[in-house]
Structure 1
Amino acid sequence: MTSLLAILIGCLYAAAIYMMLRRSVVKLVIGLILLSNAANLLIFTAAGLERGVPPLIEEGQQVIAGTAADPLAQALILTAIVIGFGVLAFAVVLIHRACEVVQTDDMNEMKGTD
């Protein structure tokens, strides 16, 4: 399962970089979405894909019995999703306004405008 996810993560990174190198600003935003999803999946896979009990210590015990899920990776991914959504919303509004002013979504034509 880990090797399948590694291939999927590589494909997502490749597609994100390909989309970010396109001339269209809309494709740039799609590339940013793919890049953030690939990074989240990488963190999730790096933490391990073992099923475990919730990481709660019972009263009177010192350690968790058995394997437990890693809460750090889940917290990092949740934080990355929220931050990524905020950045994406800002980028969409910024790109929408730039396209309104310049009347195009081509990056090369935007660069030459005063």
Structure 2
Amino acid sequence: METLITLLVGVLVSTATYLLLSKNLIRIVLGTAILSHAVHLLLMTMGGLKGGSVPILDDGTETYTDALPQALILTAIVIGFAVTAFFLVLVYRTYQSVGTDNLNEMRGSKDE
């Protein structure tokens, strides 16, 4: 299972890299969002996908699941959502004031 998720992370990182290298601002924002989700999946995979019980000492089970990677990823998802929302508002405001979302046109070069 970890191999499959690692391959999925590789596909997400390559897709995010492709989007980050484009000239469109919306694609760049989507690329950063996809890259952050790829990192979340990678951290979850590195934390281990093993099953176990909740870490309560009164129970008779011997295998426990570590809740720290899940808590860290949940925090990172919330922060990533806020940053993506901020980027989208920033891109919208830039589009309103400049009139384009193409980086070459914003820079002033006429090359396509």
Given the two structures, how large is their TM-score scaled by the length of structure 1? 0.90
2:89 to 64, 82, 93: 93
Q: Matched residue of 1:14: which SS?
A: helix
Distance 1:27 1:19 in 2: 5
Q: How many residues align?
A: 109
1:108 aligns with 2:97: no
Q: Which one of the candidate residues 78, 82, 98 is aligned to 1:82?
A: 78
- Aligned AA for 1:5? I
* Aligned-residue offset at 1:65: 3.2
Q: Distance in 2 between matches of 1:95 and 1:57?
A: 50
Instruction: Give the SS at the match of 1:99.
Output: helix
Matches within 5 A, 1:1-114: 1-58=1-58, 65-112=61-108
Unaligned runs of 5+ in 2: none
Counterpart CA distance in 1 for 2:39 and 2:101 is 27
Equivalent-residue separation in structure 2 for 1:109 and 1:69 (angstroms): 51
Secondary structure of residue in 1 paired with 2:94? helix
Aligned-pair distance for 1:112? 2.5
Deviation of 1:86 (Å) = 0.7
State the 1:96 CA deviation: 0.4
Q: Which runs of 4+ in 1 moved over 2 A?
A: none
Percent identity of paired positions between Structure 1 and Structure 2: 44
**Deviation by residue 1:50-102 (Cα, 9 ceiling, x = unmatched):** 1111122228xxxx832111111001100100100110111000010001111
